[in-house]
């Protein structure tokens, strides 16, 4: 009897493997056929970026493209989110595939024909708008994946939910947005999503490569604001007032010391960075107030709590030592992006098949953050990096994300399309 059962199991596994191989070949053919379309889509979205919670034209175009594929589309979730559903009409799991759609307040310098010329106002400043983190490629790759899966509907089971999420970079102050708001508005429950898959293009990973990690892959991110209040006086008489500029400078040094001298970095990485300093009106007036705005990145919850406490204490006591005061506000933006170990192990063969086993690598966690983490808190999820660095790029031609010279090689998009398509098909097939 055991022998018969073993034979049946082996036969099932062979049939499954053959079916996967056949569907993979179909995906490869279709991905190659639509690659030029995916690149064209990406270049349009790159040329016309919009800021977080303001992706109105972006969302409208995405919805239009999805409807042309024959998919029912819901709009307006989390303000500008777009959700499309592929229902095969056959019983099976429901999976979510996610792309983020917002740009950044960065003025583009990249010398490309489809460079962004868009401008907007951000925190009271007029500035350029750019897809400086590759969200334009995420849109295009998920649209390509949607087209492939729609064409393969008869071979699939269950449902696929295509989630085009706004405001990944964070909603403007005073607003809600992003994955957190989508989850709050019930996206998981409304569509019955059981697992989520997401990817991020990476300008410092060669085209054709995929990188992943079990467990925490990206850091928690928090935003802090420190308002240092002194006493205004003439610049020629600093002793007649309390200088918040000097106190703010000392606070910045103190924040750096929290990481370099008070945090156990052998446990996990941590970062505190001040990204914006505002204060004063002219050269010969010591102002009454200086504001520091920055980010905190942690990969451990206990370390996160300790660092928050130390920021409050450091800023308050340094300000007090010079006669000033400091008000500290810390807002949690996103938790650690966590790859469910069981799901990740199950889907690693799909990544191998999409890119070639030699091109799929395990990487340490990074201190960048992703609000995909809110989906991963609700359902088992897998998030990975796809290469966008030109294979012939020299060291001085490779720029990090969130910079004016950020550049992604279009030839890497087909790997992302194949990876997302393989993950979807293989997960659905494994449920049969």
Q: Which has the closest alpha carbon to 27: 152, 159, 143, 200?
A: 152
Q: Is 357 a catalytic residue?
A: no
- Residues linked to residue 338 through DSSP beta bridges, in sequence order: 216
How many CB atoms neighbour CB 287 within 10 A?
21
Residue 81 CA to residue 408 CA, distance in Å, equals 24
Structure tokens at 432: 């049969």
- Residues linked to residue 119 through DSSP beta bridges, in sequence order: 128
Contact 196, 375 (CB under 8 A): yes
Q: Which of 50, 100, 102, 222 is catalytic?
A: 102
Q: Is 168 a catalytic residue?
A: yes
Q: Where are the beta strands (DSSP E) in 281-398?
A: 285-286, 289-298, 325-334, 337-339, 360-362, 366-369, 381-389
Structure tokens at 426: 């293989």
Structure tokens at 58: 């972006």
The DSSP secondary structure of 157-210, one letter per residue, reads -SEEEEEEE--TT-PPTT---HHHHHHHTTHHHHHT--EEEEEEEEEEEETT-E
Place of tokens 């928050």: 308
Q: Which of 50, 55, 108, 168 is catalytic?
A: 168
> Based on the number of CB atoms within 10 Å of its own CB, is 386 exposed (0-12), middle (13-18) or buried (19 or more)?
buried
Q: Which has the closest alpha carbon to 70: 84, 57, 51, 81?
A: 84
Q: What are phi and psi for residue 332, nearest 5 degrees?
A: -80, 120
Structure tokens at 129: 């708008």
Q: Any residues with CB less than 8 A from the CB of 196 and at least 6 apart, and which? A: 95, 96, 97, 98, 163, 372, 375, 376, 379, 380, 381, 382
How many CB atoms neighbour CB 123 within 10 A?
11
How far is the first Cα of the chain from the last one, in angstroms, to the nearest whole number? 24
Place of tokens 């990249």: 110
Catalytic residue positions?
102, 168
């Amino acid at each position: 009897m055991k022998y018969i059962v073993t034979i049946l199991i082996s036969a099932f596994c062979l049939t499954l493997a053959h079916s996967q191989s056949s569907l993979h070949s179909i995906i490869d053919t279709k991905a190659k056929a639509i690659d030029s379309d995916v690149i064209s889509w990406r270049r349009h979205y790159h040329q016309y970026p919009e800021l977080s919670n303001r992706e109105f034209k972006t969302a409208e175009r995405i919805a239009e493209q999805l409807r042309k594929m024959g998919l029912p589309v819901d709009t307006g979730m989390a303000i500008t989110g777009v959700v499309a559903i592929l229902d095969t009409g056959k019983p099976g799991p429901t999976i979510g595939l996610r792309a983020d759609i917002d740009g950044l307040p960065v003025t583009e310098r990249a010398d490309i024909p489809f460079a962004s010329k868009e401008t907007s106002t951000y925190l009271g400043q007029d500035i350029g708008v750019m897809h400086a983190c590759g969200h334009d490629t995420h849109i295009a790759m998920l649209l390509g994946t949607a087209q492939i899966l729609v064409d393969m509907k008869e071979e699939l089971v269950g449902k696929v939910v295509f989630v085009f999420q706004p405001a990944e970079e964070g909603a403007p102050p005073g607003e809600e947005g992003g994955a957190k708001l989508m989850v709050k508005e019930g996206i998981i429950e409304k569509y019955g999503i059981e697992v989520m898959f997401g990817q991020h293009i990476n300008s410092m990973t060669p085209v054709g490569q995929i990188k992943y990690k079990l467990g925490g892959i990206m850091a928690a991110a928090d935003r802090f604001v420190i308002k240092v209040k002194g006493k205004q006086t003439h610049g020629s008489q600093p002793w007649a007032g309390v200088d918040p500029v000097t106190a703010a400078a000392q606070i910045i040094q103190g924040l750096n010391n929290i990481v370099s001298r008070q945090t156990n970095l052998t446990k996990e990485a941590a970062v505190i960075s001040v990204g914006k300093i505002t204060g004063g009106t002219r050269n010969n007036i010591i102002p009454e107030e200086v504001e520091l705005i920055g980010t905190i990145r942690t990969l451990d919850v206990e370390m996160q709590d300790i660092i928050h406490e130390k920021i409050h204490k450091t800023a308050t006591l340094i300000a007090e030592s010079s006669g000033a005061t400091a008000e500290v506000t810390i807002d949690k933006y996103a938790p650690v992006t966590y790859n469910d170990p069981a799901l990740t192990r199950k889907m690693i063969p799909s990544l191998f098949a999409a890119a070639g086993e030699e091109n799929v690598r395990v990487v340490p966690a990074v201190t960048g953050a992703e609000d995909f983490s809110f989906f991963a808190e609700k359902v088992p999820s897998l998030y990975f990096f796809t290469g966008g660095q030109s294979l012939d790029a020299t060291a001085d031609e490779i720029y990090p994300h969130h910079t004016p010279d950020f550049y992604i090689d279009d030839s890497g998009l087909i790997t992302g399309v194949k990876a997302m398509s393989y993950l979807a098909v293989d997960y659905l097939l494994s449920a049969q």
